[in-house]
Structure 1
Amino acid sequence: MKTRVITAVVALLIFLPLVIYGGIPFLALVYLMSFVALYEILKMNRIHIFSVPGIMSILALFLILGPNSTFLPTVEAYRLNLLIVIALVMLSFTVISNNRFSFVDMGFCVMSVAYIGIGFMYAYETRNAGLIYLMYGLLIVWTTDTGAYLFGRAIGKRKLWPRISPNKTIEGALGGLFSAAVLAVIFSLTGLLDNNMFSLIVLTVILSAFGQMGDLVESALKRHFDVKDSGTILPGHGGILDRFDSFIFVLPLMNILPIII
């Protein structure tokens, strides 16, 4: 527990100032975290980050994360073409490697890049829309996790998905949704977001549910590859994917649902 607390405090001291400042420093943080997450997920499938498919995955992730033409006008113009070339190189490598790197492995790399890239890209896009939106997304996940833990400990009896995450309960999941709804009420009453209270509650509960699903998706991934944590970069907490699995689902949806105007 002491290790978890120390890691959390140090991480917040680094993370929150960059979130608040935004701009290029926050973009650099997003790139760093996403590359670590890519390393973690490829390692699960025994794909080395500095192999040909690993390097191609890094390049594809770099392109997906690249913000609009403000920073990378030349890359922006050819982004799709470059991604197509990367895909063709990876497909060609299935032949060059005599199928040691298979079509299935290539699909795993593509989905890994999409899974991580889209989630972290929207971290930057959400911050650009306004600090309040990114903070709200973070608070939805933290409030949901805290509520699920407390309700699960207090009244949790029925397992939510025992084969995927044996410690989660239905009561805990519902408690997480309830806690997120309370957060929406607080934000509505204080006028921090412009949405009316009812719509904000509904949208927040949807985001809370998908945040919990994001957690389960990563749990299922770890079960499939028989690993306990995605990594060890955060002592007591695991890897970047372990900490940001819910955000990968929540932040894109915040931009799709009518919360960010």
Structure 2
Amino acid sequence: MTNLIQRTLAALILIPVILALVHWGGVVGLFLPAIVIGLLAQGEFYRMFPDTWKRFSSRVALLAGALVIAGLGQMARGRLSPDTLLSLFFMLLILLLALSVLSGDEQDRTGGFPLLLTGVVYIPTGVGMVLLLRGLPGGEGFVIYLLGLTWIVDILGYVAGKSFGRQKLSPALSPKKTWEGALAGVAGGLFWGLSVHRYFLPAISMQETVFISLFISVWGQVGDLCESAFKRAAGIKDSGSMIPGHGGVLDRIDSLLFNSVALYAILALFEGYSSRVWL
């Protein structure tokens, strides 16, 4: 009960702040919060693995992650071309590879590069994609739709799993997650999509909204399971303790990291959306 109260209070405080930033702040208002959230989550990810966290290269990886988010934010504002961003991104990865390998030791000649690379790609990309979505025509609606769907899937999955969940979804990765909770989350995501379609996705057909909502409702739970796999490998329950009742920042955005990339990819590939470039 205490945990549920803490989760509820944290949500009541954070959700209005986030929605206010999305509505009134736009890409500019979300820019610094996105970098801070990305750094906190990426730092939590590296701290799961002390051998990686103690390396100087992990700090360089944090800087690289912040630059990736900043680059995506500038691209969302039309101030950075995709070619420039890709060049920066690959240069950062090569620099991180060189630094990691050259500082490696007898036990690990890679210098922890696989985990460092995972942290740079996995977290900053997902956070930065929210900025790209906000920068699209109708971007406010896309982001609110995405956040609402992610939250509803998470809440219904948690409540249904606690209340009547019996069949374990993936005991090896996350013993508490159940098929009943997962299906309830998908149903909630679909209901959300159908309910807000005319308000937040007016340019998307109803049939496409059904597909997008179903796909993202499932895909976000894959992201949740992936983070659970990392925590299981590290032997910890939560990525951190910054948010009462929820754990760490990464625990809160694990599904969103997958969902933001999926939604932007769908819009770009099938709906013809693209970031503005005013160069």
Normalising by structure 2, report the TM-score.
0.82
Tell me if structure 2 keeps the 8 A contact 1:47–1:54.
no
What is the alpha-carbon distance in structure 2 between the residues aligned to residue 7 and residue 216 of structure 1?
A: 23
| Cα RMSD (Å) | 2.8
Deviation at 1:207, TM superposition (A): 0.5
- Distance, in Å, in 2 between the alignment partners of 1:42 and 1:89 is 15
Alpha-carbon displacement from aligned partner over 1:101-134 (angstroms, at most 9, x marks no partner): 6416111101111000110110111111211100
Q: Distance in 2 between matches of 1:82 and 1:197?
A: 36
After TM superposition, give the deviation of residue 80 of structure 1 in Å.
2.1
Counting only pairs closer than 5 Å after superposition, residues 232-251 of structure 1 correspond to structure 2 as 232-251=241-260
CA distance in 1, matches of 2:261, 2:237: 26
Select the residue among 120, 123, 127 that pairs with 1:116: 123
Match of 2:205 among 171, 189, 196: 196
Instruction: Select the residue among 68, 75, 96 that pairs with 2:74.
Output: 68
Report if the CA contact (8 A) 2:42-2:123 is conserved.
Answer: yes
Scaled by the length of structure 1, the TM-score of the pair is: 0.87
Q: How does 1:1-261 map to 2 (within 5 A)?
A: 1=2, 2-20=5-23, 21-46=25-50, 51-65=55-69, 66=71, 67-68=73-74, 77=84, 80=87, 83-84=90-91, 87-88=94-95, 90-99=97-106, 102-103=109-110, 105-129=112-136, 130-188=139-197, 192-258=201-267, 261=273
1:186 to partner: Cα distance: 1.2
Compared with structure 1, are the counterparts of its residues 81 and 201 closer, same or farther at alpha carbon in structure 2 (3 Å cutoff)? Answer: closer
Verify the 8 A CA contact 1:7 1:234 in the aligned structure 2.
Answer: yes
Deviates more, 1:45-54 or 1:15-24: 45-54
Point out where structure 1 has 5 or more consecutive residues left out of the alignment.
Answer: none
Separation in 2, partners of 1:245, 1:97: 29
Change (3 A) 1:3 1:174: closer
Q: Distance in 2 between matches of 1:233 and 1:127?
A: 26
- Contact kept? 2:153, 2:186, Cα under 8 Å: yes
The 3-state SS of whatever aligns with 1:167 is strand
Distance 1:102 1:156, change over 3 A: same
Instruction: Tell me, yes or no, if the aligned pair for 1:215 and 1:245 is still in contact at 8 Å.
Output: yes
| Cα distance in structure 2, aligned partners of 1:89 and 1:257 | 30
Distance 1:198 1:30, change over 3 A: same
Task: Provide the aligned length of Structure 1 versus Structure 2.
Answer: 261
Which deviates the most, 128-137 or 148-157? 148-157
Identity of aligned residues (%): 26
SS across alignment from 2:46: helix
Shift of 1:89: 5.1
Q: Distance in 1 between matches of 2:166 and 2:203?
A: 38
> Deviation at 1:60?
1.6
Instruction: Judge conservation of contact 2:167–2:180 (CA < 8 Å) in 1.
Output: yes
Give secondary structure in 1 for the equivalent of 2:236.
Answer: coil
Unmatched tracts of structure 2, length 5 or more: 274-279
Structure with bigger RCO (C-alpha 8 Å, 6+ apart): 2
